[in-house]
C-alpha cells in the first residue's frame, strides 16, 4: 500500500496542552509519526512518497474563509498582543452570550474559533495543518487514479475540525477536504467511516445536511467522553442528509468483540449505500493502553479490523487521526493496513 509521509510533520512540536488543570507535554506529539513510519518501513507496507502542494482551494471548499484567515495570522496576532505562552483559548461564546460579533481582540477571536481548550495554537499550527491536508490529498489522488488504496500519514489530525472551528488537536478536517475533492472529481457517493476513539464531530457537522457523503462514527459515548456535545445516536442527519449520518456511541471498557458488532452494522450500511470511495478516519486511540481513552482493543485486533474493512471491496483511503500510546501506535496503525492488504 502506498504511504504518503513527510518529515516536515515534525515541525509541529507544541510545548503545552491544558489537561487536568495543568500544562502538560502534548499527547499529540511528533514521535507519533516516527513510530508509525518506522513500523511501516519494517513491515514493509510499500512505497513511501512525499506529498504534493494543493494550495488553499480544496481547503476553502470545506472551511470558511474567515476561519482560514484567522488561522493564518493567529500566532502573529497573539504575539503582537504580548502574550508570553502558546495561544490557549480561555473564553467562548456560550448559550447565554452567543457571540454575534467576531471580536477584534485575539483572545476573543481565539475562543470564537475554538471548540476546546486543549489545543495550543503556535507558530507552526497553520503550516502543519496545510501540510497535513496535502498528505491526505496526495494519497486521495493515488486512490482515485489507481482504484486501490493508500495511507495518508497525516499529522496534525483533522476529524474534530469543523467549518469554522479548531480543537481536539485538529485545525483542518483532512477527511472532509479529501471527500469533497473526490466529489469534485466526479465520485458520486463517498463514505467516511471514523474509527477513532473520539466522535468525529467536525466531519459529522460538515456533511450533516448532505446525502452525497455518508458519515459513520464508532466512538466513546459523548456523555462520558470528549467532545461531549455531539456524537449521540439520535443525530442522523438533517434535510437531504437525513439518514446519512450514523453514530455508534459505545460505553467505557468496550472490547473488540463489542466494537466489531458495531463495525459490522456500519459495514452493512456502507454496503447498502454503494459508495465509490471509502475514507477511513484511522485513529488507534481505541487501544487498551491509550492514555486518554477507555476502550480495550489489543494490538492484534487491529489486524482483524483491517481485514474486515477490506471485505467491503472498495477503493479505500486511510487517513491518520488519533492514537496516543506512542510506543504502540506504529504497531497498531500498521496492523490495520497489513490486515487490509492481506
Ligand atoms: C484526534 C483526537 O484523537 N483528538 C482527541 C482530543 C482529545 N482531547 C481532550 C482529551 C481529554 C481527555 N481527558 C481524559 C484524561 C484521562 N486521564
Ligand atoms: Zn481520538
**Ligand 2 midpoint to CA 324 (Å):** 8
- Ligand 1 binding pocket, CB closer than 6 Å: 118, 157, 160, 168-170, 196, 198, 226, 283, 285, 292, 321-322
What is d(CA 145, CA 281) in angstroms, rounded to the nearest whole number?
A: 20
Query: Which residue's CA is minimally distant from atom 5 of ligand 1?
Result: 168
Q: Average pLDDT of 30-40? A: 98
Q: Which atom of ligand 1 is nearest to the CA of 168?
A: 6
- What pLDDT was estimated at residue 202? 99
- What pLDDT was estimated at residue 157? 98
Query: Which residue's CA is minimally distant from atom 16 of ligand 1?
Result: 292
pLDDT of 309 over the 90 cut? yes
- What pLDDT was estimated at residue 132? 98
Query: Which residue's CA is minimally distant from atom 13 of ligand 1?
Result: 292
CB atoms inside a 10 Å sphere around CB 175:
36
- What pLDDT was estimated at residue 227? 98
State how many domains the chain has. 1
**Ligand 2 midpoint to CA 318 (Å):** 15
Contacts of 243 (CB under 8 A, 6+ apart): 211, 236, 237
Encode pLDDT of 250-272 as tens digits: 999 999 999 999 999 999 999 99
Encode pLDDT of 74-83 as tens digits: 999 999 999 9
**Ligand 1 midpoint to CA 223 (Å):** 14
Please indicate, yes or no, if residue 100 is contained in any of the structural domains: no
Report the complex ipTM: 0.96
User: The domain that contains 157 carries what CATH number?
Assistant: 3.40.800.20
**Ligand 1 midpoint to CA 308 (Å):** 27
Please indicate, yes or no, if residue 207 is contained in any of the structural domains: yes
Query: DSSP state, 240?
Result: G
Q: Average pLDDT of 90-116? A: 97
What is d(CA 193, CA 279) in angstroms, rounded to the nearest whole number?
A: 6
Phi-psi region of 162 (alpha: psi -120 to 50; beta: other; left: phi over 0): beta
pLDDT confidence bin for 4, thresholds 50/70/90: very high
- What pLDDT was estimated at residue 342? 87
Give the active site residue among 160, 198, 199, 219: 160
Among candidate residues 305, 220, 215, 325, the one with its CA nearest the CA of residue 264: 305
Average pLDDT for the chain: 98
Please indicate, yes or no, if residue 224 is contained in any of the structural domains: yes
Question: Closest-lying ligand to the alpha carbon of 27?
Answer: 1
Active site residue 83: no
Range of 265's domain? 2-65+124-341
Q: Which atom of ligand 1 is nearest to the CA of 198?
A: 3
Amino acid at each position: 500500500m502506498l504511504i504518503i509521509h513527510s518529515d516536515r510533520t515534525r515541525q509541529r512540536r507544541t510545548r503545552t496542552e491544558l489537561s487536568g488543570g495543568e500544562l502538560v507535554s502534548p499527547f499529540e506529539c511528533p514521535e507519533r509519526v516516527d513510530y508509525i513510519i518506522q513500523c511501516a518501513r519494517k513491515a514493509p507496507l510499500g512505497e513511501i512518497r512525499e506529498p504534493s502542494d494543493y494550495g488553499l482551494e480544496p481547503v476553502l471548499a470545506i472551511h470558511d474563509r474567515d476561519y482560514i484567515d484567522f488561522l493564518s495570522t493567529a500566532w502573529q496576532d497573539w504575539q503582537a498582543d504580548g502574550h508570553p505562552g502558546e495561544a490557549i483559548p480561555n473564553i467562548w461564546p456560550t448559550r447565554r452570550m452567543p457571540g454575534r460579533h467576531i471580536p477584534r481582540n485575539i483572545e476573543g477571536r481565539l475562543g470564537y474559533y475554538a471548540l476546546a481548550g486543549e489545543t495550543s495554537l503556535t507558530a507552526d499550527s497553520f503550516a502543519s495543518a496545510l501540510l497535513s491536508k496535502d498528505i491526505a490529498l496526495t494519497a486521495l489522488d493515488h486512490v482515485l487514479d489507481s482504484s486501490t488504496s493508500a495511507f495518508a500519514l497525516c499529522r496534525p489530525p483533522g476529524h474534530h475540525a469543523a467549518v469554522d472551528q479548531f480543537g481536539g488537536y485538529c485545525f483542518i478536517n483532512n477527511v472532509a477536504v479529501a471527500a469533497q475533492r473526490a466529489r469534485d472529481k466526479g465520485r458520486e457517493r463517498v463514505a467516511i467511516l471514523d474509527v477513532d476513539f473520539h466522535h468525529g464531530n467536525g466531519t459529522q457537522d460538515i456533511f450533516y445536511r448532505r446525502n452525497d457523503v455518508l458519515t459513520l462514527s464508532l466512538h466513546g459515548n459523548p456523555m462520558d467522553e470528549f467532545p461531549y456535545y455531539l456524537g449521540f445516536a439520535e443525530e442522523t442527519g438533517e434535510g437531504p442528509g437525513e439518514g446519512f449520518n450514523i453514530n455508534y456511541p459505545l460505553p467505557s471498557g468496550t472490547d473488540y468483540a463489542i466494537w466489531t458488532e458495531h463495525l459490522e452494522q456500519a459495514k452493512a450500511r456502507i454496503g447498502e449505500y454503494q459508495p465509490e470511495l471509502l475514507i477511513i478516519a484511522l485513529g488507534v486511540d481505541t487501544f487498551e493502553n491509550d492514555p486518554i481513552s477507555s476502550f480495550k482493543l489489543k494490538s492484534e485486533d487491529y489486524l482483524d479490523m483491517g481485514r474486515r474493512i477490506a471485505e467491503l471491496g472498495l477503493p479505500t483511503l486511510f487517513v491518520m487521526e488519533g492514537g496516543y500510546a506512542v510506543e504502540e501506535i506504529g504497531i497498531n496503525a500498521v496492523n490495520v493496513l497489513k490486515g487490509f492488504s492481506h
